[in-house]
């Protein structure tokens, strides 16, 4: 069996590619980083270091090779022969890989190949709809019926935390990836075409909106709040921030607000959602992972948008009649994030200085005084 992993970065190698390999697939990575492609083809394996405060384990991911993403024909050949596929390239990169993906799909159409499921490992709500739109625009209406019948676009919720790798962490191995032990892969059960593949750690679930929102409004929101509060107190690492009792209490309270909103919307037992909150708070304390405040907090402009982790969580609470007062504190901290090495943070700071906090919140966050917590953000920022 063959799996195509589009993207050989941290999530591609550190999580999904590893899952494919350990589930019995030969894995073809597609990437534009020539050095990564060359080493994968030379060694046909790479190390993954699983780290926690309790223990460290290194495993070798085998039966892998790579194709340069700039070679459209070679990429299309791999997709033609794939039994399953996944993307982990980043939302902004998806439009750039549509041509080779569609070339591969056209070849599958021409040769009457069976169903293909693509697991979409991108941080975007409705990523399946977005990818389908890109594919349909590229391929044209003549393929619509075939795509609806043969292509499964499966949203995934990526919960495994992977830090930015430093040269020291690579320990002389350019492909080495450090990851936390968590290895569950929740996916949209209803999106598969044909049988659901047997993959290690796969959690098919319906309605999948619950897992997407849980990841964004609990995990991503809580993680970001750790970063912004931690930055204010001068911490370098996330584990240092969450070890601060004041930050811990603030982050946990915000995550509990989101948990209550999800419970109200999906009727998933609150106790079950709170188990996830407690697990995340424990995982944020992973010192060995070495996750930095600046990595997690980067690009506050994106994280403050209406549909993203901070504003999205606050709006989800308000919709369910829950006061997002604890999440608002995180929004204020994000608005004050002024890391001089973060281009988006500097742009945010300049915008506030230029047009004021009121208009900035309206333009960046997409809310105005018709929202009950708008005034709380403005008052808290100025205070």
What's the confidence (pLDDT) of residue 361? 97
What's the confidence (pLDDT) of residue 163? 87
Per-residue pLDDT band at 3 (split at 50, 70, 90)? very high
- Residue-wise pLDDT for 59-89, tens only, equals 999 999 999 999 999 999 999 999 999 999 9
Per-residue pLDDT band at 211 (split at 50, 70, 90)? very high
Is residue 297 pLDDT above 90, yes or no? yes
CATH architecture of 209-382: Orthogonal Bundle (1.10)
Is residue 307 pLDDT above 90, yes or no? no
Query: Closest Cα partner for 5 from 50, 46, 42?
Result: 46
H or E segment and range at residue 203: strand 202-205
- According to DSSP, residue 182 is labeled -
Work out the mean pLDDT of the chain and round it to a whole number: 96
Per-residue pLDDT band at 114 (split at 50, 70, 90)? confident
- According to DSSP, residue 16 is labeled I
Q: Where are the domains of the chain?
A: 2-204, 209-382
d(C-alpha 227, C-alpha 211), whole Å: 23
Is residue 164 pLDDT above 90, yes or no? no
- Residue-wise pLDDT for 265-274, tens only, equals 999 999 999 9
CATH among 3.10.620.30, 3.40.50.720, 3.40.50.170, 3.40.309.10 for 2-204: 3.40.50.720
Is residue 358 pLDDT above 90, yes or no? yes
**Under a CB-based contact definition with an 8 Å cutoff, are residues 357 and 335 in contact?**
yes
For the segment 50-59, the average pLDDT, to the nearest whole number, is: 95
Per-residue pLDDT band at 178 (split at 50, 70, 90)? very high
């Amino acid at each position: 069996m063959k799996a195509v992993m589009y993207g050989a970065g941290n999530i591609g190698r550190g999580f999904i590619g590893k899952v494919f390999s350990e589930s019995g697939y030969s894995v073809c990575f597609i990437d534009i980083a020539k050095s990564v492609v060359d080493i994968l083809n030379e060694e046909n394996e790479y190390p993954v270091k699983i780290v926690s405060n309790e223990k460290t384990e290194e495993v070798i991911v085998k039966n892998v090779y790579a194709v340069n993403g700039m070679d459209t024909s070679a990429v299309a050949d791999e997709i033609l022969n794939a039994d399953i596929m996944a993307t982990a390239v980043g939302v902004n990169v998806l439009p750039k890989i549509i041509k080779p993906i569609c070339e591969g799909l056209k070849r599958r159409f021409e040769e009457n190949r069976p169903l293909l499921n693509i697991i979409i490992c991108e941080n975007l709500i409705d990523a399946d709809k977005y990818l389908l739109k890109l594919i349909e625009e590229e391929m044209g209406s003549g393929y619509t019926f075939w795509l609806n019948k043969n292509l499964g676009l499966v949203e995934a919720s990526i919960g495994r935390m992977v830090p930015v790798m430093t040269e020291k962490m690579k320990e002389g191995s350019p492909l080495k990836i450090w990851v936390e032990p968590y290895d569950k892969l929740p996916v949209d059960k209803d999106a598969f075409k044909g049988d659901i593949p047997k993959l290690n750690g796969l959690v098919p679930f319906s309605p999948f909106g619950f897992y997407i929102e849980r990841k964004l409004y609990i995990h991503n929101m809580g993680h970001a709040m750790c970063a912004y509060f931690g930055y204010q107190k001068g911490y370098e690492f996330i584990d240092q921030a969450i070890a601060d009792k004041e930050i811990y209490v603030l982050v946990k309270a915000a995550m509990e607000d989101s948990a209550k909103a999800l419970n109200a919307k999906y009727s998933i037992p609150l106790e079950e959602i709170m188990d996830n909150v407690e697990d995340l708070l424990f995982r944020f304390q992973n010192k060995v992972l070495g996750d930095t405040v600046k990595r997690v907090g980067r690009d506050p402009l994106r994280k403050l948008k209406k549909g993203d982790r901070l504003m999205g969580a606050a709006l989800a609470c308000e919709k369910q009649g829950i006061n997002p007062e604890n999440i608002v504190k995180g929004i204020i901290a994000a608005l004050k994030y002024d890391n001089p090495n973060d281009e988006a943070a500097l742009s945010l700071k300049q915008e506030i200085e230029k047009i004021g906090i009121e208009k900035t919140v309206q333009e960046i966050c997409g809310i105005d005084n018709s929202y009950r917590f708008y005034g709380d953000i403005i008052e808290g920022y100025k205070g």
